[in-house]
Amino acid sequence: MKIKEMMKFAWDNYKQYAFGKNELRPLTKNGHIGNMFGGLRGATVVDALDTLYIMELEEEFQEAKKWVEKSFDLNVNGEASLFEVNIRYIGGLLAAYYLTGEEVFRSKALELGEKLLPAFNTPTGIPRGVINLGSGMSWSWGWASAGSSILAEFGTLHLEFLHLTELSGNPVFAEKVMNIRKVLNRVEKPQGLYPNFLSPVTGNWVQHHVSIGGLGDSFYEYLIKSWLMSDKKDSEAKKMYDDALEAIEKHLVRRSAGGLTYIAEWRGGILDHKMGHLACFSGGMIALGAEHASEERKQHYMDLAAEITNTCHESYARSDTKLGPEAFRFDTGTEAMATRLSERYYILRPEVVESYMYMWRLTHDLKYRQWGWEVVKALEKHCRVEAGFSGIRDVYTTVPTHDNMQQSFFLAETLKYLYLLFCEDDVLSLDDWVFNTEAHPLPVNHTNFKTKASVQ
């Protein structure tokens, strides 16, 4: 199918021009290293493994596997984002292991997991955001207020760390994330909301900015998915999710004059009527949670999920390229469009097609496939270049303004979710797998361990 061809094209060009680097620069036809992975290389290889596998791109999967076996060096010495290493590398390796049963993926995931542990050596056990993978020294991002840690970063470790304990028999990984849970459960939440910045020293919030987009997003996602991954036994996670969603709906969800439902950002009680592309994952998350809500809440949450997904679709439909901006606003007469020049870009992000995939699987309303197909066509038209796919700087103009970057999450997430949108429901069934926030599938309660995903 078309999406498999797109994946092969993205992979082939990465292999030809950037193999072993973190990402492909498709215009200049070279590799990009970046500064998020602390000297680790091959982010695109590890992020792409499971997508290649489920699309049955066998030769390409073998190339990727061989690179992990022969060239993936973990003895590096650089500053890495704990969050990014976890979701892309550990998540990618764990998923590859569960899909194939190949030992190399398990052992690399565990070895890398060990290297992340020193980040948790803080007075509260809340990890710092940056870690030197060689020395184990860790610190907070320079831009985060007053040495704080970020909710979406320390709140997005739970799924992977439970699997690291499961696969190693070493309880330390699970202990670290259960402790994070404990701190978050204990701390007082303004209006029931979770602010984005917490001090790893005192365990208190550093400021009251709440967002279901960047800085907050995947923390909420991991609450509901922790419960699902535990085969619905982790009732603490479910309660935290239910309570958080109730507070979000009360304080952040709003409807525009034109009838579009959106999730605003909250700054100490004042609403910023802006929704980031990142926040568009929430349609899928709320639909996934709705499935398991009480009878009287189920329809309500399915409606909310559909409305938010519709709003995100509008942000695409209202642009000239039919791709959505990084952030869109609902003020001064604007609805679902970027108002600032700096928010007009699209960097091949997955969140909108992610919600289409969940909404399709949970409702089978054909419009989600139609909307997904609109994205496929737009990607082909505006992002495909001679040597790969590139982000664009302005979704409101059809004159090409490429950013020269093929993000690794395009292969891990955007193309995988598009592919699953057009597959039968039993390909990585939502009953048996949960996707980590980088779309790497992890089995529910291990029932699917070593089960080869079948593809139609």
Residue count at the site for ligand DMJ (CB under 6 A)? 9
Between residues 293 and 347, which has the closer beta carbon with respect to ligand DMJ?
347
The annotation status of 332 as a binding-site residue, yes or no, is: no
Using CB under 6 A as the criterion, what x/- string covers residues 244-283 for binding ligand DMJ?
Answer: ----------------------------------x-----
Checking 397-404 for CB contacts under 8 A at 24+ apart, the result is 397/320, 397/321, 398/320, 398/321, 402/26, 402/27, 403/345, 403/347, 404/25, 404/26, 404/27, 404/28
| Under rule CB under 6 A, residue 50 binds ligand DMJ | no
How far is it, in rounded angstroms, from Cα 54 to Cα 63?
15
DSSP secondary structure code for residue 155 in this structure: T
**Is 188 in the active site?**
no
Q: Which residue's beta carbon is nearest to the bound ligand DMJ?
A: 437
| Under rule CB under 6 A, residue 350 binds ligand DMJ | yes
Q: How far is CA 425 from CA 21, 24, 254, 262, 419, in A?
A: 34, 32, 32, 28, 11
Minimum Å distance from CB 213 to ligand DMJ?
Answer: 10
Of the listed 50, 217, 234, 354, which one is catalytic?
A: 217
**Is 50 in the active site?**
no
**Is 335 in the active site?**
no
**Is 217 in the active site?**
yes
| Under rule CB under 6 A, residue 23 binds ligand DMJ | no
| Under rule CB under 6 A, residue 346 binds ligand DMJ | no
Strand 209-210 to 384-385 pairing: unpaired
| Under rule CB under 6 A, residue 213 binds ligand DMJ | no
Residue 253, SS3 per DSSP: strand
Minimum Å distance from CB 354 to ligand DMJ?
Answer: 8
Between residues 124 and 156, which has the closer beta carbon with respect to ligand DMJ?
156
Contact 421, 372 (CB under 8 A): yes
For residue 274 the two structure tokens come to: 């802006």
Between residues 218 and 355, which has the closer beta carbon with respect to ligand DMJ?
218
For ligand DMJ, which residue of 437, 440, 442, 444 counts as binding (CB under 6 A)? 437
| Under rule CB under 6 A, residue 138 binds ligand DMJ | no
Minimum Å distance from CB 343 to ligand DMJ?
Answer: 15
**Helix 282-290 and helix 235-251: axis angle, to 10°?**
120
| Under rule CB under 6 A, residue 440 binds ligand DMJ | no
| Under rule CB under 6 A, residue 218 binds ligand DMJ | yes
**Residue bearing tokens 């985060």:** 144
For residue 434 the two structure tokens come to: 């949960």
Contact 406, 383 (CB under 8 A): no
For residue 82, which of 20, 19, 161 has the smallest C-alpha distance? 161
Between residues 187 and 347, which has the closer beta carbon with respect to ligand DMJ?
347
For residue 278 the two structure tokens come to: 């990142």
Instruction: Return the bridge partners of 197, or none.
Output: 150, 207
Q: Which residues bind ligand DMJ (CB under 6 A)?
A: 87, 218, 278, 349-350, 409, 413, 437-438
Please give the positions annotated as active site. Answer: 84, 217, 326, 351
